[in-house]
Each structure stands twice: as C-alpha cells, then as structure tokens.
C-alpha cells in the first residue's frame, strides 16, 4: 500500500458531511434537473464552501487555495460525488479549467478567470466532442480562423454537458491544417453569451442538462481568449480528460448507495434471493477494489509519475462497478425501480433509479471503456 490519507482526512470528511447535511436537502440528486431550485442549492452551497475555504482547497495558495494535499482533495471529491455533487457543474471549473488556466494562462487570463471560479460564481462547460469526433477526438473540425487580432469560430460541438447553465465554454478548435490532428488544435475561452454561439438541449434518458448541442456561427474570439501557444491545445485536453477519468469518485457514491439501500430495505434486504445478496456482496468488493486502484493512481500523480495505463485501469474498474451497483440495487428495490425523484416514496428519493440511469453512460463519457482497455492492454503487453 503506497498511500496514507493522513491524519486530517477523517475530520475533513466529517466537516464536509456536516456542511452537506446543513445545506443540502436529503432529496438532492444533483443540479441537473428541470427544477431551478436544484441549481440554486448548488450555487448557494458553492458560496458556503468558498466562505469555508473549502471550494478551492486543492488550489495553490497563490490563487486563493489552501494548497491541500492530494488526499484532502480526494476526500472532497469522494464526499461531493457520494452526495450527488452538491457543487453542481462548478466542478469542471474547479477541477480542470482553473488548474489549466493556472498552468497555461497569461497573467491577464489568471487575473480575469480564476477569482470568479474560486468564489463559486461561474459555471464552465467543455466543448470538445463533435458529431464526427467522439473517440477520435483529434479529428475535430470546428475551425478557428484568424480575424484581425483575434479569431472567428465556425462549427458544431455536441454532448456539451451543462451548456445551458454555463457562463463560459472551453472550445477546442482546429487552428492547424485540416489534417493536422493532435498538432493543430487550440483551446478558446468563450463566453456563452457571445454572438453566434447557440446551445440547444438534447432530451435524453440521462435526464436534463447532461447533453446539449453547441452551434458556432462566426463566433468572434478576442486575442486574450485563446490558451497559448496556438496549436498546443491537445496537451491541455489530455490533462482535462485524465482528470475526468480519475477525478470523479464514482466508487464513493456506490459505497454510499450500497450502505443506504440496505438500511432503507431493512428486513426486505435479508429476504432477498441469496443470489442477489451474493451479487450485492461482490459489488461491495468491487467498489473497494475500484477505490484502491484510484488511490494508487492518485499516489502516482502526487509523486509526479502519472502512468496513463494506471489511470485507465482504475477507470475500467470504477465505471464497471458503477454499472454493477446500479443493476444490483435496482433489482433489490423490485417494483419500486420505476420511481424517479418525482414519485412520492421513491427509495432513497429516487437516488437509486437516478444512479442506474446515469451509470449507463459511465463507460462512454470522458473516453469509452474500449479506449481505456486499449491503454491497459498496451501497457500489459509492453511490460513483457
């Protein structure tokens, strides 16, 4: 075992749970609903965390953070995800947009974009995928053409989560030759209210806000809105996706739901078919394994030796566990499985049904299962 969460982790976890209990209703299932109240809860909670210096715990002190250890950050991510991410869509800004600007931004960009993120005031979304560029992200075609001192963007993005809630979007666009692939992509920081930028929701079984289309029609981008150097976007995108792969502590919600479902079912749990209880027990084992694989990757990251295949292996375990837990718990609640959050008396306020639906996309979002398996296989074969 090559990690130690440290002495502070337990008390930090308790403190976060207290804050969540005091500020987030038990029935909260995330900010992404048709009820604007949910978004308000998340916005308010971000301010509470900001006031407690917990929002940017992970950020270096020079940018208003607490310079916390990676393990404190891990505790925050676990508690947030376990409780349906009460920071709402803010996590994108906090977790990768902010850090990317710290690392690659100009002093002006840092001064402009970081304080509102640290204060919990803005939402960012991620405009990478396109209709024809999914797994093959490097084939993206949205074009950025120089226009005076700035650029003009034309093209289409898709699956852009939270686009209708967001204030800004990080748009990946082609600045190199059409076939320049990884070497010809630049990232732009585009305000969502910029002329020519239109977001359209896509109704889906995952629920509202998860999927949107983004149309870019001659969108003007100012010189200070590109992350430099031009054509250097791919590295930043890889960091962002690597974050999404390890940074979302899906195993924590699995742990919480496994425990709470059992408690909620009481005697009905004990009388479930033995084969189902066996699946439940195995799912709990898999959640633990997934957590430990994630810790291993986090420890390696902390030591500055990120290994892509470690992160990919952790992600394979985590996303499969996510779906496994969804399947087991839905079966345990029997004919209540159809109840979403709008049905009175739904088990765990609809939290199991919500988890089940969302988990179906776990092996697709932020890089498909097959792409992760490819990385793991390559590493295993090269080790020979």
Partner 1 sequence: MNLGLPDEAQELIRAADRAIAAAGGVELTRAAELDPTVRTAVAAPVVAALGLGDLDVGADPDIAVAGAEVCRVAGSHAFPYPLAAMFAGRHATAGGNLALVGGGRPRVDHGDLGAWSAVDGSGKRYRAVPVDAPLGSKLGPFVVDVALEPQPGRSAAVDVALALDLVSFTVLGYVERARALTVEHVTTRVQFGQTLSRFQSVRFQIADVSVLERGLRELARFTIARVLTVGDREAMADALALRVAALEAATEVFRIAHQLHGAIGFCDEHDLSILSRHVQPLLRLPLALEGTTQLLVDSIALAPFDSLFSAAAGA
Ligand X SMILES: Cc1cc2nc3c(=O)[nH]c(=O)nc-3n(C[C@H](O)[C@H](O)[C@H](O)COP(=O)(O)OP(=O)(O)OC[C@H]3O[C@@H](n4cnc5c(N)ncnc54)[C@H](O)[C@@H]3O)c2cc1C
For ligand X, the binding residues (CB under 6 A) are 125-129, 134-135, 159-161, 206, 210, 361, 364-368, 370-371
Range 179-238, binding partner 1 (CB under 8 A): 202-207, 211
Nearest distance from residue 79's CB to partner 1, in Å?
27
Which residues, listed in sequence order, are joined to residue 146 by a DSSP beta bridge? 151
The smaller minimum CB distance to partner 1, of residues 5 and 369, is found at 369
Listed residue (177, 50, 159) closest to 114, CA to CA: 50
Q: Which does 161 bind (CB under 5 to 8 A by kind): partner 1, ligand X, none?
A: ligand X
Q: Which does 224 bind (CB under 5 to 8 A by kind): ligand X, partner 1, none?
A: none
The smaller minimum CB distance to partner 1, of residues 309 and 319, is found at 319
Stretch 311-350: interaction string toward partner 1, x if CB under 8 A: ------------x---x--xx-xxxxxxxx-xx-------
Residues 6+ apart with CB under 8 A from 309: 375, 376, 378, 379, 380
Nearest distance from residue 291's CB to partner 1, in Å?
23
Whole-number Å distance between alpha carbons of 55 and 98: 12
The smaller minimum CB distance to ligand X, of residues 72 and 85, is found at 85
Nearest distance from residue 218's CB to ligand X, in Å?
21
Site size toward partner 1 (CB under 8 A) is 47
136 makes contact with partner 1 (CB under 8 A): yes
Cis geometry, peptide bond prior to residue 325 (ω within 30 degrees of 0): no
Which residues, listed in sequence order, are joined to residue 201 by a DSSP beta bridge? 212
Q: Which does 323 bind (CB under 5 to 8 A by kind): ligand X, partner 1, none?
A: partner 1
What is the full DSSP assignment across 257-290? HHHHHHHHHTHHHHTS-HHHHHHHHHHHHHHHHH
Other CB atoms within a 10 A radius of the CB of residue 21 amount to 11
CA 383 to chain CA mean position, Å: 31
As a dihedral over the C-alpha atoms of residue 61, residue 121, residue 228, residue 142, rounded to 10 degrees, the angle is 150
Whole-number Å distance between alpha carbons of 142 and 353: 36
Site of interaction with partner 1 (CB under 8 A): 129, 132, 134-136, 139, 158-159, 202-207, 211, 272-276, 279, 323, 327, 330-331, 333-340, 342-343, 353, 356-357, 360-361, 363-365, 368-370, 373
């Amino acid at each position: 075992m090559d990690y130690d969460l440290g002495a502070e982790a337990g008390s930090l976890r308790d403190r976060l749970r207290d804050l969540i209990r005091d500020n987030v209703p038990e029935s909260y299932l995330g900010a992404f609903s048709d009820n604007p109240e949910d978004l308000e809860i998340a916005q308010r909670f971000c301010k509470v965390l900001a006031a407690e210096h917990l929002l940017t715990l992970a950020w270096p002190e020079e940018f208003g953070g607490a310079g916390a250890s990676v393990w404190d950050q891990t505790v925050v991510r676990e508690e947030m995800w376990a409780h349906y991410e009460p920071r709402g869509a803010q996590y994108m800004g906090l977790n990768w947009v902010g850090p990317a600007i710290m690392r690659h931004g100009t002093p002006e960009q840092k001064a402009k974009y970081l304080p509102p993120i640290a204060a919990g005031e803005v939402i960012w979304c991620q405009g990478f995928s396109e209709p024809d560029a999914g797994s093959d992200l490097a084939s993206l075609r949205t074009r950025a053409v120089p226009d005076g001192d700035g650029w003009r963007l034309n093209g289409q993005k898709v699956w852009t989560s939270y686009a209708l809630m967001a204030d800004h979007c990080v748009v990946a666009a082609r600045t190199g030759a059409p076939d320049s692939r990884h070497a010809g992509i630049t990232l732009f920081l585009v305000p969502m209210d910029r002329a020519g930028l239109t977001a359209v929701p896509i109704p889906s079984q995952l629920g509202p806000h998860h999927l949107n289309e983004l149309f870019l029609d001659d969108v003007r981008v100012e010189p200070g809105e590109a992350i430099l150097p031009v054509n250097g976007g791919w590295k930043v995108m890889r960091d962002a996706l690597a974050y999404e792969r390890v940074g979302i502590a899906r195993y924590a919600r699995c742990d919480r739901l496994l425990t709470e479902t059992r408690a909620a079912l009481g005697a009905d749990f004990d009388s479930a078919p033995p084969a189902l209880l066996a699946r439940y027990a195995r799912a709990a084992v898999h959640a633990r394994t997934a957590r430990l694989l994630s810790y291993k990757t986090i420890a390696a990251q902390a030591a500055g030796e990120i290994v892509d295949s470690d992160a990919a292996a952790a992600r394979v375990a985590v996303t499969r566990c996510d779906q496994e837990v969804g399947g087991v718990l839905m079966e345990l609640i029997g004919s209540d499985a159809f109840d979403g959050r709008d049905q009175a008396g739904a088990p765990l306020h609809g939290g199991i049904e919500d988890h089940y639906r969302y988990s179906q996309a776990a092996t697709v979002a932020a890089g498909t299962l097959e792409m992760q398996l490819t990385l793991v296989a390559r590493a295993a074969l090269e080790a020979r």
